Structure formats: structure tokens, C-alpha cells
Amino acid sequence: MKKRKIHITFRTNSYDTEYNLLGEYDKEHNILTYFENSSLVTKVTIDLNQQELRRDNKDYQLIYHFLENEVTDNSIFLKEMNQELCLKLKTKKFSFSQNKLEIIYILLDSEEKVIYQIEF
């Protein structure tokens, strides 16, 4: 797969950031993959067919499932502690068209709204 530029916007009630990086889009399987290189390298994989987001690094693996207007149980696996936590979220919007993905969801434990947009 060819590397392509990706623009990410991530907004919550208390946090707002935008950044650019390189990633890959597998058109045949409809999967977007990129690596975040902050203090901890995190692989992010979004399966657009399954409407699933995975974040994986040496400390944790997070798996979110997005079903519009539904509450889903999602897992955060803490590797060092060998412990799995459950997080409920409600998806307000999961939209993919051409080269833009928009996911809007609410973390139910904190009532925090998250807006996650990717253009590639």
C-alpha cells in the first residue's frame, strides 16, 4: 500500500488538536492504518466495514465499536496489569465518504463528547 498524507482533527469538551501524518488506506478491505509517534508509538487501525477503531501500543489495546445511535461495550486492555476494562460509548455519527471519515461519540462514564475526523 502506498503511504498517503492524513489530516486528523480530535476534539473533546476539554481538548482540541489537529495534526498531519502519514498512513495507509487499504481500499480493497476498507481499512485505514497510521502510527502516532508521541512519547509512546501507537498503531491506529480503523476498519470502516466493521466500524471499529483499534489503538495498540506497548501499554494498552483499545477497541471501540461504533453503531450509530447505539450504546456499545468497548474494551481497554491494560497489558502490564493483564486487566480489561469496559467502557460504554454512544455513537452519534459514523460517516465515511470518499476520503473523509467523521466519528462523533459520547463516552458515557464521563458524558464527554468526542469528535474525530480524518481526511486522507
User: Is the pLDDT confidence value at 98 over 90?
Assistant: no
Please, are residues 55 and 43 in contact by the beta-carbon 8 Å criterion?
yes
Question: Distance between CA 100 and CA 112 in Å, rounded?
Answer: 23
Q: What is the pLDDT of residue 2?
A: 85
Query: Tens digits of per-residue pLDDT, 74-94?
Result: 999 999 999 999 999 999 999
DSSP class of residue 38 equals: S
Q: What's the whole-number mean pLDDT along residues 61-69?
A: 98
Q: pTM of the entire structure?
A: 0.93
Question: Distance between CA 79 and CA 56 in Å, rounded?
Answer: 10
**103 closest CA partner among 26, 44, 36, 21:** 44
For the chain, how many structural domains are there in total?
A: 1
Could you give the maximum distance between any two Cα atoms of the chain, in Å? 40
Please, are residues 116 and 10 in contact by the beta-carbon 8 Å criterion?
yes
Report phi then psi at 24, rounded to 5: -130, 145
Q: The domain spanning residue 109 has which CATH number?
A: 2.40.128.20
DSSP class of residue 68 equals: B
Would you say the C-alpha torsion 109, 88, 78, 116 has a positive or negative sign? negative
Query: Tens digits of per-residue pLDDT, 3-23?
Result: 999 999 999 999 999 999 999
Provide the residue range defining the domain that includes 23: 3-119
